[in-house]
Structure 1
Amino acid sequence: MSQLVADSNPQQRFTNLYTDLARTVRELGLLRRRQGYYWTRIALVLVAFAGVWVGVGLLGNSWFQLLMAGAFALVLTQVAFLSHDSSHRQIFESAKWNDWTARLLAGGLIGISSAWWKSKHSRHHAAPNQLNRDPDLDIGVIAFTPEQAARRTGLQKWLTARQGWLFFPLLTLEGLSLYVSSVGHVFRRGASKIERVEGALVMSRIGIYLALLFFLLPPGKAFAFLGLQLAVFGVCLGGSFAPNHKGMPLVPASMKVDFLRRQVLMSRNIHGGRFTDFAMGGLNYQIEHHLFPSMPRPTLRKVQPIVREYCERHGVAYTEVSLVASYKIVIDYLNNVGLRARDPFQCPLATAYRG
């Protein structure tokens, strides 16, 4: 390791650090697939999915259907986590099996295109919190950077100053936003053949869902069911992704960053035990997930102490907070993004490379 420390090129040194960590993880067998775990998860969500509709049929014309709407949103959130894992090829060795599993879960059960999601999410993984590269920093309703906030005037400026407090109410619209963006992607001009296949799957699922809902329930209750399901789904899914990067350092658009520091310094872990693992679909181990995207979800807990100790030994800041603390950080950051949010050029990476 002394040879690495003596290297005059800091980027090469940091690249070598990731290579050493990856070798250790691979030699410990922590990248092996966990198909038994995933088959069990898939079976359970399919049973839960069917169980919700059995419950809807048994309840009939009742406002207790809103409880089923909330339950359905929770089931769809778990389906989304499984589709996310499969898109990262965590489940099977075969890329084709992973891709089709993601398509069937996302398109067939949720009604969202996995191709659209994968395109957007892959760009995020390649450049988390990097200006002009991370699509998660370019959401029209919310300003995530000081530059975005500075361009706003009038009522929009007033709302931006309070957007942290509005964050959770806005998440209730995230579910609808996902559907609109997904449908727009698969039916855009120039969509590939597989995206058109996904489009047919997505529209079939949406059509069957709406037909069943309005067949089983009167219009008022059907609209209430649909609205609550979309709102809870948006809050659960958006609330699982938001704490992981918002309020962490921003990276200048032109800055080149080594893989280890790009993923660790821009990500935040959430501690909280098994319930948090379940509720967030393993995304609470965001640092480990970004370092090893194809690592099966249940292995992230095992690799965490290795990664944390490795980062501490090499002076790479490793951030982990509680879920409540993370939401406080996100709210404070969003409320003050145009006032005292971190300047991207004061990112700790810049100091590290100058050193």
Structure 2
Amino acid sequence: MAPDPKDAQNPVVGPAPRYFTWDEVAQRCGREERWLVIERKVYNISEFVHRHPGGSRVISHYAGQDATDPFVAFHINKSLVSKYMNSLLIGELSPEQPSFEPTKNKELTDDFRELRTSVEQMGLMKANHTFFLLCLLHILLIDVAAWLTLWFFGTSFLPFLLCAVLLSVAQVQAGWLQHDFGHLSVFSTSTWNHLLHYFTIGHMKGAPASWWNHMHFQHHAKPNCFRKDPDVNMHPFLFALGKVLSVELGKQKKKYMPYNHQHKYFFLIGPPALLPLYFQWYIFYFIVKRKKWVDFAWMITFYIRFALTYGPLLGLKGLLGLFFVVRFLESNWFVWVTQMNHIPMHIDHDRNRDWVSTQLQATCNVHKSFFNDWFSGHLNFQIEHHLFPRMPRHNYHKVAPLVRSLCAKHGIPYQSKPLLSALADIVHSLKESGQLWLDAYLHQ
């Protein structure tokens, strides 16, 4: 049947798009209703947060805000993810609405997005697989050397101690490597990154990948933001962190701990205790509560391997002693390295600033050297890592001069320190914020 010419004159028109203002979006940030904006499109994530592969909290931290830059930063296949998001799309910003919220720096964001495009064109988001293979091999060699030390020299004090040190090195370096896979920075597809992440964190370290994702991506989404970054949620129960939060705590007359002495007791309940006294039991609580049985299976292979490897040489008491000595040594290394880039920096509530400002105010670098790169798993380039979380770590030093130029253009401090200075600044900042708390507590 021939088409009716009237139909051509009156084509079917779909429903007009719904338009929203930034104020309307900002109001949808509670538990009942959550919206966010990506490239001017408005999405209702109220139900989706519970199905979000990265966890409900990390996406909820951007409820009521523009999430364009974190969306680009975290997702390896943005076109595929965008298809799944079509069902969440409820409208877009009104044409008269600016593309940026009032709290965000448009010029800085535009320049950063140009830089990100240049970085991708330069191939800096592509990994050198040989580099990561060598990282894995050197960890395995150290792990084998630890066992050979006991097998060849016996189980007296010195061989036992040397074995524990070697195992601690292997555990820390495995921690840096699982971090690479967790950030999807090694392979071009999520599948291989996830598989190797299960292997490195589950089988090599005995921890759940889902727990790491849950904690670490919140940290990257809102670094040093109280109640959004798990790494600073020790405030106020153990430490008074940052100048702003410490003064607030003092004004509220809250004293959970003698914070003016926190730079001293940090050496007791900070680096030595985090892994053996907290993380070690919490990871099992996490997987049981959330029913992460795949993670549980990978973890169990680590504990079985450890028991079968060292049990015959040391017996049960020696086995448990070695395990907790390794966790103690690893914990000290891990905490000092991970906190030297963040604790001395600005810590505050979420002020909904742009991506670059949010990351730069919360991070600093440690000077490049072969030892510093190895010792920290290249997390001495914390600024570059936070701006480009999926970038392979061996490319951080290549993008660093470009980031430094961007910061200089916009008058943003770009801090890089010697290693020992960065470690000392943790203690100095704790002492300073503790004194600020005490002054506010006594006089305001």
Normalising by structure 2, report the TM-score.
0.69
| Match of residue 283 from structure 2 | 182
Q: Considering fraction of residues, name the structure with more helix.
A: 1
Aligned AA for 2:419?
L
CA offsets, 1:257-281, max 9 Å, x none? 1011111121110115111000000
Q: Following TM superposition, by how much is the alpha carbon of 1:148 offset from its aligned partner in structure 2, in angstroms?
A: 5.6
Match of 1:298 among 374, 385, 394: 394
CA offsets, 1:161-187, max 9 Å, x none? 222233244311222122222211111
| Match of residue 347 from structure 1 | none
| Match of residue 135 from structure 2 | 41
Q: 1:46 to 1:164 in 2, by over 3 A?
A: same
| Match of residue 315 from structure 1 | 411
Q: Following TM superposition, by how much is the alpha carbon of 1:219 offset from its aligned partner in structure 2, in angstroms?
A: 5.1
Identity %: 24
8 Å CA contact 2:238, 2:257 repeated in 1: no
| Match of residue 179 from structure 2 | 84
User: Are residue 217 (structure 1) and residue 318 (structure 2) matched?
Assistant: no
CA offsets, 1:61-96, max 9 Å, x none? 311211110110011100010000110011111101
Residues in 1 aligned to 2:257 and 2:280: alpha-carbon distance in whole angstroms: 28
8 Å CA contact 1:111, 1:179 repeated in 2: no
**Deviating more after overlay: 278-287 vs 239-248:** 239-248
Q: Following TM superposition, by how much is the alpha carbon of 1:223 offset from its aligned partner in structure 2, in angstroms?
A: 4.2
Q: Following TM superposition, by how much is the alpha carbon of 1:340 offset from its aligned partner in structure 2, in angstroms?
A: 2.5
Match of 2:355 among 245, 259, 263: 259
8 Å CA contact 2:132, 2:186 repeated in 1: yes
**Deviating more after overlay: 60-69 vs 294-303:** 60-69
Q: 1:223 to 1:198 in 2, by over 3 A?
A: closer
Q: 1:62 to 1:152 in 2, by over 3 A?
A: farther
| Match of residue 161 from structure 1 | 260
User: Are residue 134 (structure 1) and residue 134 (structure 2) matched?
Assistant: no
Q: 1:69 to 1:262 in 2, by over 3 A?
A: same
Residues in 2 aligned to 1:218 and 1:151: alpha-carbon distance in whole angstroms: 51
Q: 1:100 to 1:12 in 2, by over 3 A?
A: same
Match of 1:226 among 323, 330, 333: 323
Q: 1:8 to 1:335 in 2, by over 3 A?
A: closer
Residues in 2 aligned to 1:122 and 1:151: alpha-carbon distance in whole angstroms: 33
2:413 partner SS: coil
Aligned AA for 1:13?
E
Aligned AA for 2:388?
F
Aligned AA for 1:26?
E
8 Å CA contact 2:239, 2:257 repeated in 1: no
CA offsets, 1:226-247, max 9 Å, x none? 3321111101111210101112
Aligned AA for 1:57?
W
Residues in 2 aligned to 1:119 and 1:148: alpha-carbon distance in whole angstroms: 27
Q: Following TM superposition, by how much is the alpha carbon of 1:17 offset from its aligned partner in structure 2, in angstroms?
A: 2.1
Aligned AA for 2:271?
L
| Match of residue 352 from structure 1 | none
User: Are residue 55 (structure 1) and residue 156 (structure 2) matched?
Assistant: no
8 Å CA contact 1:112, 1:178 repeated in 2: no
Aligned AA for 1:225?
L
| Match of residue 206 from structure 1 | 303
| Match of residue 349 from structure 1 | none
1:128 partner SS: coil
User: Are residue 120 (structure 1) and residue 242 (structure 2) matched?
Assistant: no
Residues in 1 aligned to 2:224 and 2:253: alpha-carbon distance in whole angstroms: 19
Aligned AA for 1:38?
F
Q: Following TM superposition, by how much is the alpha carbon of 1:250 offset from its aligned partner in structure 2, in angstroms?
A: 2.1
User: Are residue 73 (structure 1) and residue 168 (structure 2) matched?
Assistant: yes
8 Å CA contact 1:282, 1:297 repeated in 2: yes
Q: 1:218 to 1:330 in 2, by over 3 A?
A: same
| Match of residue 278 from structure 1 | 374
Aligned AA for 1:217?
L
8 Å CA contact 1:18, 1:259 repeated in 2: no
Bigger relative contact order (CA 8 A; separation at least 6): 1
8 Å CA contact 2:146, 2:162 repeated in 1: no
Q: Give the number of the structure whose alpha-carbon radius of gyration is greater.
A: 2
Normalising by structure 1, report the TM-score.
0.85
2:435 partner SS: coil
List runs of 5+ in structure 1 lacking aligned partners.
Answer: 1-6, 342-355
Residues in 1 aligned to 2:254 and 2:147: alpha-carbon distance in whole angstroms: 45
8 Å CA contact 2:222, 2:358 repeated in 1: yes
8 Å CA contact 1:271, 1:284 repeated in 2: yes
CA offsets, 1:106-165, max 9 Å, x none? 110110112101110000000011122111111254342415676654xx533x322223
Q: Following TM superposition, by how much is the alpha carbon of 1:43 offset from its aligned partner in structure 2, in angstroms?
A: 2.0
